[in-house]
């Protein structure tokens, strides 16, 4: 069984439509794939239909941007009830905070003499939540940069000159809301891009309903993976592995490059309140 629990489609900042993503998952030899677009569940129906057609299993997920004691931290949420009112309100707030920062980032780029067209940013986002990768796409279109990666390194990364933070919801609240919506919260890439995470902090969040931690991720080196696996085992958190695939939008995150065991998937779904 090959299981990949973290992927993105054009419904957020991936480059494959949900149906294309499922076809690519089949191609990559996956039996189970989770679609985890940023702050949205709008890709689920298309992915579900494609998964049924191809005979593979879809896990319905999303990835939330949260604040962990002042640090940016992504949280994966699986099998939530997408209509649960508190969850819906939380996602709406997330999307609104994404919308609000875009004109400010565009203003910064204009001041830096790298103007982009707001309509191009919106067009890159399509119907899903808008993010920095879409600003990067507009920069590529304006020929300021060649790749999203270059746009992040030179302008849009957290230390970049065009970066504008957005309001993020507290991770404690996100975990509680995901649980309330019957879903399973899993910390995404906790040691990626310089983030810090202690065993004590995992234990605190576990008390609040955290179920798992993404151990095998491309942003984790072997030592980080060993450390995280040890913490997960000691605390009884479910350890997952995944690609964080974004199509051609992110290099080095091929579908199935990291995988989750069948036992871990069973444990996650058993924790699901529905």
Q: Which residues bind ligand AMP (CB under 6 A)?
A: 13, 38, 65, 131-133, 148-149, 152, 246, 250
Tally of CA atoms within 13 A in the half-sphere of 34 that contains its CB: 30
User: Which residue number, 98 or 120, has a Cβ lying nearer to Zn ion?
Assistant: 98
Q: Could you tell me which residues are beta bridge partners of residue 66?
A: 73, 169
For position 74 contacting Fe ion by CB under 5 A, the verdict is yes
Q: How far is the CB of 148 from ligand AMP (least distance, A)?
A: 4
Among Fe ion, ligand AMP, Zn ion, none, partner that 43 touches (CB below 5 to 8 angstroms by kind): none
User: Which residue number, 22 or 232, has a Cβ lying nearer to Zn ion?
Assistant: 22
Q: What are the φ/ψ torsions at residue 113 (nearest 5 degrees)?
A: 70, 30
Q: Terminus-to-terminus CA distance in the chain, angstroms?
A: 24
> Site residues for Fe ion, window 90-149 (CB under 5 A)?
none
Q: How far is the CB of 107 from ligand AMP (least distance, A)?
A: 16
How many separate helices (H) and strands (E) can be counted in the chain? 10, 8
Q: How far is the CB of 174 from Fe ion (least distance, A)?
A: 13
Nearest residue to Zn ion by CB is 13
Footprint on this chain of Zn ion (rule: CB under 5 A): 8, 13
Rounded distance between C-alpha atoms, residue 103 and residue 105, angstroms? 5
User: Which residue number, 216 or 244, has a Cβ lying nearer to Fe ion?
Assistant: 244
CB crowding 130-140: b at 16 or more within 10 Å, else e: bbbbbbbbbbb
User: Which residue number, 132 or 179, has a Cβ lying nearer to ligand AMP?
Assistant: 132
Helix (H) or strand (E) holding 270: helix 262-270
Rule CB under 5 A: which residues touch Fe ion?
Answer: 63, 74, 188, 244
């Amino acid at each position: 069984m090959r299981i990949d629990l973290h992927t993105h489609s054009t419904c957020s900042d991936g480059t494959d439509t949900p149906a294309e993503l499922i076809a690519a998952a089949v191609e990559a030899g996956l039996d189970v794939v989770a679609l985890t677009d940023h702050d949205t569940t709008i890709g689920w129906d298309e992915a579900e239909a494609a998964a049924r057609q191809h005979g593979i299993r879809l896990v319905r997920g999303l990835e939330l941007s949260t604040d962990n004691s002042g640090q940016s931290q992504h949280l994966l949420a699986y099998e939530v009830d997408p209509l649960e009112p508190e969850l819906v309100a939380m996602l709406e707030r997330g999307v609104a905070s994404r919308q609000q920062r875009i004109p400010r980032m565009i203003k910064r780029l204009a001041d830096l003499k790298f103007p982009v067209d707001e309509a191009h940013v919106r067009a890159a986002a399509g119907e899903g939540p808008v993010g920095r990768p879409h600003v990067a796409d507009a920069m590529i279109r304006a020929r300021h940069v060649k790749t999203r990666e270059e746009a992040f390194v030179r302008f849009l990364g957290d230390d970049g000159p065009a970066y504008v933070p957005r309001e993020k919801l507290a991770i404690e609240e996100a975990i509680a809301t995901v649980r309330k919506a019957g879903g399973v919260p899993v910390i995404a890439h906790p040691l990626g891009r310089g983030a810090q995470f202690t065993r004590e902090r995992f234990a605190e969040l576990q008390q609040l309903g955290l179920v798992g931690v993404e151990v095998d991720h491309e942003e984790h080196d072997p030592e980080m993976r060993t450390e995280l696996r040890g913490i997960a085992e000691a605390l009884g958190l479910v350890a997952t592995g995944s690609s964080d695939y974004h199509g051609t939008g992110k290099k080095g995150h091929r579908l199935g490059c990291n995988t989750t065991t069948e036992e871990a998937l069973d444990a996650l779904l058993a924790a699901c309140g529905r």
